[in-house]
Amino acid sequence: MTGAFIAVEGVDGSGKSGVVRHLIAALRARGHDVLGTREPGGTPQGEALRGLLLAGADDAWDPRAELLLMTAARVQHVARVVLPAVAAGRIVVSDRYAGSTLAYQGAGRGMDEGLIHDLHRSMVDDLWPDLTLVLDLDPATGLARSRRRLAADAIDEGRFESLALDFHRRIRDSFITQAAAAPGRHALVDASGPPDTVQAAALAEVERFLTFDPERRGR
Ligand code: TYD
């Protein structure tokens, strides 16, 4: 059996977590061996870094330190979780991956994208998912949704949500640009509709990929 690496990206509040849960459940129901994971996180060390990265004030981290810690969490995740699972024939579904670094640390925080690409090449051997779903949504809508959720759940992961709308517009534009630059391994999903619709559209893209593009799978 050939493994696959699928990532789901999007602006805050794009319904990404619900899409990830839906994909995992639907693929399992179809008999696939699926590993759900996330970034930053996905390993005990990465989850500890996530706690440090997402708590506190918006400017708590120097952008360079933030980039290195995101990358450190990714190295651990790729080496210890993603690659072994794909090699074992599993389908890995990751809630965010390196596209988020280009978007948030690059377009958002202004870190040099060449540097981010260099780090990505040297640290994870330029590993990109076989398929990246980009949940596309106007950030104003996404922010309103995610503020409601954080308040309702009393979660202290609001550091990134508290940033200005302009920041989130750059994030969205970066994801669209990334998808346009490598259309063979991206699918743009309209995330403006109700959760059921968005989740069904995301699953349809994954099924299309698994059915029609087996040659893109398995690294
Ligand atoms: P996530 O839990 O997906 O947030 P949400 O569900 O609210 O969208 O991700 C946490 C935050 O981490 C998110 O705001 C984006 C940020 N992030 C980066 O800045 N760089 C990265 O490389 C990754 C993976 C995430």
pTM of the model: 0.91
Mutation pick for ligand 1 pocket among 61, 137, 160 (CB with most ligand atoms within 8 Å):
160
**Tokens 């990358």 found at:** 71
Query: Is the minimum distance from the CB of 70 to ligand 1 under 6 angstroms?
Result: yes
Enclosing H/E stretch for 7: strand 4-10
Query: Is the minimum distance from the CB of 197 to ligand 1 under 6 angstroms?
Result: no
pLDDT tens string, the chain, 219 residues long: the values are: 689 999 999 998 899 999 999 999 999 999 999 999 999 999 999 999 999 999 988 889 999 999 999 999 999 999 999 999 999 999 999 999 999 999 999 999 999 999 999 999 999 999 999 999 999 999 988 888 877 777 777 665 555 556 688 999 999 999 999 999 999 999 999 999 999 999 999 999 999 999 975 555 443
Q: Are the CB atoms for 160 and 54 separated by under 8 Å?
A: yes
Q: Rounded to an integer, what distance in angstroms lies between the CA atom of residue 193 and that of residue 179? A: 20
- Which domains are assigned to the chain? 4-216 (3.40.50.300)
The CA 212 to ligand 1 mean position distance, Å, reads: 30
Taking CA atoms only, the protein residue closest to ligand 1 atom 7 is: 12
Query: Is the minimum distance from the CB of 40 to ligand 1 under 6 angstroms?
Result: yes
Enclosing H/E stretch for 181: helix 165-181
